[in-house]
Amino acid sequence: TEHYRITLLPGDGIGSEIIAVMVDVLKTIAPKFDLEFTFQEALIGGSAIDATGNPLPEETLNTCRESDAVLLAAIGGYKWDNLPRHQRPETGLLGLRSGLGLFANLRPATILPQLMDASTLKREVVEGVDIMVVRELTGGVYFGEPKGVFETETGQKRGVNTMAYTEGEIDRIAKVAFETAQKRNGQLCSVDKANVLEVSQLWRDRITALSSQYPDVQLSHLYVDNAAMQLVRAPKQFDTIVTSNLFGDILSDAAAMLTGSIGMLPSASLGASGPGVFEPVHGSAPDIAGQDKANPLAQVLSAAMMLRYALNQPAAAQAIEDAVQTVLNQGYRTGDIMSEGQQLVGCREMGDALLRAL
């Protein structure tokens, strides 16, 4: 029996509802694959602020560090939007990423045949879309120093952030991206703004230099504005995309929305060593929290990503992914992916259907 210590971070909004479904799924598959999970719950985000005044209590970070993997739901809500920065839910999330050294964020945007009509794009444009965005997650303008609001000589306020990357930071994310592309269709598109930004020029130079080590990967480059256009114009041209923290934030969300069903998309954040964090792409949806309306499938698929990428249990991951396919084929739909002729279910009912399918 393999034994894994898993930290659960339900966070805010619909977090606890979707985490509950995911835990049931993991408990159900565990005996079938000879796995044993110990779950430890910890606080992050708004709920951590309410309980401790800190969006990422030291205890949470320690619990995560001592575990084999972390399953996060989502953080944030209107309630905490106007607090000072160090007390904002987002600050807890950024602290978790840097605290665990999670420099590589893998965000798939895959369109499911059952949900194709949910896309706002024409069927022929999105049919078969399968993109993996590899986003750098602990550098760039998110963390660069100096940052803050300073006073100019004339007494005006000036807001400043620093967009910066070292060669080492670029190289390690490039490595993850090339290896990801190798396992996919061998196409890697690096996105930057090298025609304007020096930091992007260094990014492009390093990626280009490293590409000789991956002769089986076909590398291309796009400027970020063009990449945003191409995602709308012809998303099927993309296989794997690698980009910086900020550009990845924007493009991975745009790519996710092409599918029309972001309630279905998981993601993984990985470091050089230590536990990774697995979480849905969608947010905490405070407007439907506590109403048993949330779609738990992205959370459940995040657990599958964990099994595959962190725990090396591909068969168990596959079993979960198959169960998700089964419930979709059976016609179960939460509100966010509902369409005519299908059966509308709540979060818990969707969970029950998954357990039956397993």
Ligand X SMILES: CC(C)[C@H](C(=O)O)[C@@H](O)C(=O)O
- Please name which of 251, 161, 241, 163 lies closest in space to residue 202, comparing C-alpha atoms: 163
**Catalytic choice (142, 165, 214, 332):** 142
CB of 296 to ligand X, least distance (A): 19
CA 46 to chain CA mean position, Å: 19
Please list every residue from 324 through 353 that binds ligand X, using CB under 6 A. none
Q: How far is the CB of 225 from ligand X (least distance, A)?
A: 5
| Catalytic residue check, 249 | yes
Note whether 71 binds ligand X by CB under 6 A: no
Known catalytic residue at 253: yes
The structure tokens listed for 176 are: 């993850």
Evaluate whether 112 touches 328 at the Cβ level (below 8 Å): yes
Residue 8 CA, chain-centre distance (Å), reads: 16
Among the listed residues 83, 94, 344, 358, the single contact to its own copies using CB under 8 A: 94
Q: Is 216 marked active-site? A: no
215: partner contacted, choices its own copies, ligand X, none (Cβ within 5-8 A by kind): none
Q: Is 159 in the site for its own copies (CB under 8 A)?
A: yes
Per-residue x/- track, 243-282, ligand X (CB under 6 A):
------x---------------------------------
Known binder of ligand: residue 292? yes
Does 12 show up as a binding residue in the annotation?
no
Ligand-binding site membership of 284 (annotated) = yes
Per CB under 8 A, 90 contacts its own copies: yes
Q: Is 48 in the site for its own copies (CB under 8 A)?
A: no
Q: Parallel, antiparallel, or unpaired: how do β-strands 2-11 and 343-344 relate?
A: unpaired
Query: Residues 30, 116, 250, 355: which binds its own copies (CB under 8 A)?
Result: 250
Q: Does 357 bind its own copies (CB under 8 A)?
A: no
Q: How far is CA 98 from CA 44, 121, 140, 143, 167, in A?
A: 14, 36, 12, 9, 18
Q: Which stretch binds ligand X (CB under 6 A): 31-39, 87-95, 197-205, 258-266?
A: 87-95
CB of 5 to ligand X, least distance (A): 24
Contact between 21 and 85 under an 8 Å Cβ cutoff? The reply is no
Query: Residue 285 Cβ, how far from ligand X at the closest point, in Å?
Result: 13
Q: Provide φ and ψ at 158, rounded to 5°.
A: -135, 120
Does residue number 82 form part of the binding site for its own copies (CB under 8 A)?
A: no
The option from its own copies, ligand X, none interacting with 344 (CB < 5 to 8 A, set by class) reads none
236 is catalytic: no
Nearest alpha carbon to residue 275 among 3, 1, 7, 2 = 7
Q: Residue 66 corresponds to which tokens in the numbers above?
A: 């001592």
Cβ(138)–Cβ(277) under 8 Å?
A: no
138 CB neighbour count, 10 Å cutoff = 22
CA-wise closest residue to 109 among 293, 254, 288: 254
Using rule CB under 8 A, residue 88 touches its own copies: yes
The one catalytic residue in 24, 68, 192, 193 is 193
Size of the site for ligand X (CB under 6 A): 7
Nearest residue (CB) to its own copies, 36 versus 127? 127
- Enumerate residues 6+ apart whose C-beta is below 8 A from 356: none
- One residue of 36, 58, 162, 196 binding ligand X per CB under 6 A: 196
Q: Which value, in Å, is the radius of gyration of the alpha carbons in the chain?
A: 20
Is the CB of residue 100 less than 8 Å from the CB of residue 93? no
Cα(271)–Cα(274) distance, rounded to whole angstroms?
7
Question: Which residue, 195 or 343, is less far from ligand X as judged by CB?
Answer: 195
State the CB neighbour count (10 A cutoff) for residue 196. 12
Task: Give the C-alpha distances (Å, rounded to integers) separating 191 from 111, 136, 183, 224.
Answer: 22, 12, 20, 6
> Which is closer to ligand X, CB of 45 or CB of 351?
45
Q: Which does 251 bind (CB under 5 to 8 A by kind): its own copies, ligand X, none?
A: its own copies
Q: Per the annotation, where are the binding residues for Mg(2+)?
A: 225, 249, 253
Q: Per the annotation, where are the binding residues?
A: 77-90, 97, 107, 135, 225, 249, 253, 283-295
> Where does this chain bind ligand X (CB under 6 A)?
90, 93-94, 195-196, 225, 249
